[in-house]
Structure 1
């Protein structure tokens, strides 16, 4: 597979050049980016998937929700509906996408919407909710039709974009130079005890511009697992099968193994829509543990109290209070 990717190198160069030309045309205003009267924060990546966008969106919500009226806008990946749609807790993940539904379940007081056309989505949000004073765009770093007030670029500790190449040889959506559009670069999924020397080494690899801030974050796993009705201590939770349909389940697997958990792991592709065959197979397992993103896709199909998920959150390392001060000072 890796050899085949190398053979496709000329196509990677062609694709990267096409993306660079597109970005250039936006930069010189041949293609127009639209601005809006309220702040728009764009969260995205250069790599394809698995950088922790959803936990980062949730961190931004937690950081700002007490002072601002927030909406999130996603495209609603793999949903069966079209156009603009406001998300409600009663929706199925197949109707609105798993991540937007997760946002609405975790933060019922904010407005959550989906629309592949981000300009139309923002316009609908502003028309329907004139009280809004901040919109978070999920996975929109390459969506140039909207001019964000702030762009946040995510890259993972074990898969920095500087060590990768453009699709299909690598996993980048555009050349590394696209990182210059970011105002804030966050290295995600770092070890909790990331040393200052390692941070300096990563900073030298990423080479942020003078106008760019660089932060490091880590994933925190809850001490409890839940099915929205009951909670159990993860330390006492045993004899389960782990089922994942996310881009990179390795951090979760590593965390569970660090707690000396023994389990079988059934792994599906990212955003996998569980079929009847999948559900019948999973139904035979005694107890299932999954991520919340998978849980919102599974819970309506696998009607069982034996399905649990482990909540997670992202935390900025060694910069207590910086994110809120930075966002407030930059946007408001």
Structure 2
């Protein structure tokens, strides 16, 4: 695989030229970028793959929802519908995507919509619900909207400063794109990260003087939740669990379960996978090998796609936790919002 990526290096150069010209045209105003008279916060990354955008969006929702009318706008990755959709109780993950449905189901009182065209999506949200704030999910490269505040995520063990452009590496655009970010959040860090290591990473990222760097880790909820009840994760020690994941990187979850001494058999699917009837039979067969009526454990994102298709399914919730200077991050976001 590494050899193939190396051989594709000339295509990475071509890709770099194309994306750089595109960004230059937006920077110079040759291509139109729309600004809005309400706070628009964009969360995204330079690379493909899971950097923790969903828990970061949820962090922002928790931070702002009690004081403002929040709307979350996503493209609705892998959904089967087209155009603008304002998520409601009748929608499924196939209709609007798993992450938008998760936001809608989890946070009452906020509005969630999907639209590939983020400019039109924001305009329709303004017409329909008049939000105080719009949170754009996975929109760092969506330059047709000029968001007032950009939050760039990069994984601790896969920093964009050490990566290359597609198809040789995983970058969607060159590292110079990071200059658009107001905040850079290094995600999925070890919770015991030292001050020395944080400073080392800041230097590697070559941040601008006006940019702030924050470090977060993933925290798993001790209670796992099902349709009718919740149980503590430690109650699974005597169970044989069927673990089902359809996420980009399940390794942190596997490590957490190992740490908790949970015995499980892992059934792995691709990221954002829509579970077919054959997939359900495969999961059921795995469960039957372990325990006829055993627990199926999955991620929160996968749960919205599995709900109603299997019995005795529980999900484990994750949260973003700042290792240090959470107050500084909150203050930066709140000051931006209050500036309107």
TM-score normalised over the length of structure 2:
0.95
**1:104 equivalenced with 2:104 (yes/no):** yes
Contact 1:149 1:331 in 2 (8 A): no
1:31-110 matched pairs, under 5 angstroms = 31-110=31-110
Q: Which residue of 1 aligns with 2:270?
A: 269
Contact 1:166 1:174 in 2 (8 A): yes
Q: Which residue of 2 aligns with 1:25?
A: 25
Contact 2:39 2:336 in 1 (8 A): no
- The CA distance in 2 between the partners of 1:322 and 1:227, in whole Å, is 35
- The CA distance in 2 between the partners of 1:255 and 1:16, in whole Å, is 38
- Per-residue CA deviation, residues 21-75 of structure 1 (Å, 9 max, x unaligned), is 1000000000010000101000000110200000000000001111111100000
Q: Which residue of 2 aligns with 1:323?
A: 329
Q: CA deviation at 1:192?
A: 1.2
Q: Which moved more, 1:267-276 or 1:255-264?
A: 255-264
- The CA distance in 1 between the partners of 2:47 and 2:319, in whole Å, is 21
Q: Which residue of 2 aligns with 1:296?
A: 304
- Per-residue CA deviation, residues 134-153 of structure 1 (Å, 9 max, x unaligned), is 00000000000000010000
Q: Which residue of 2 aligns with 1:241?
A: 242
Q: Which residue of 1 aligns with 2:213?
A: 214
Q: Which moved more, 1:54-63 or 1:187-196?
A: 187-196
Contact 1:75 1:114 in 2 (8 A): yes
Gaps of 5+ in 1: none
Q: CA deviation at 1:223?
A: 0.4
Q: CA deviation at 1:259?
A: 1.3
- The CA distance in 1 between the partners of 2:203 and 2:49, in whole Å, is 24
Q: CA deviation at 1:287?
A: 2.2
**1:309 equivalenced with 2:309 (yes/no):** no
Q: CA deviation at 1:326?
A: 1.3
1:143-182 matched pairs, under 5 angstroms = 143-182=142-181
Contact 2:53 2:137 in 1 (8 A): yes
Gaps of 5+ in 2: 288-293
Q: CA deviation at 1:324?
A: 2.2
How many pairs are equivalent? 329
Q: List structure 1 segments (4+ residues) > 4 angstroms apart after TM superposition.
A: none
- Per-residue CA deviation, residues 88-125 of structure 1 (Å, 9 max, x unaligned), is 23311000000000000111210000000101100000
- Per-residue CA deviation, residues 267-309 of structure 1 (Å, 9 max, x unaligned), is 111101111110011123132111010010111322x1x2111
Contact 1:12 1:169 in 2 (8 A): yes
SS across alignment from 2:201: helix
- The CA distance in 2 between the partners of 1:324 and 1:160, in whole Å, is 23
What is the root-mean-square deviation in Å for CA atoms of aligned residues? 1.0
Q: CA deviation at 1:242?
A: 1.1
- The CA distance in 2 between the partners of 1:205 and 1:89, in whole Å, is 45
Q: CA deviation at 1:133?
A: 1.0
SS across alignment from 1:77: coil
Q: Which residue of 1 aligns with 2:10?
A: 10
Contact 1:89 1:101 in 2 (8 A): no
Q: CA deviation at 1:228?
A: 3.1
SS across alignment from 1:116: coil
Contact 1:76 1:100 in 2 (8 A): yes
- The CA distance in 2 between the partners of 1:20 and 1:14, in whole Å, is 10
- Per-residue CA deviation, residues 69-88 of structure 1 (Å, 9 max, x unaligned), is 11000000111111111112
SS across alignment from 2:173: coil
Q: CA deviation at 1:320?
A: 3.7
SS across alignment from 2:164: coil
- Per-residue CA deviation, residues 133-188 of structure 1 (Å, 9 max, x unaligned), is 10000000000000001000000111111111111111110111111111110001
SS across alignment from 1:153: strand
Q: Which residue of 1 aligns with 2:253?
A: 252
Contact 2:156 2:187 in 1 (8 A): yes
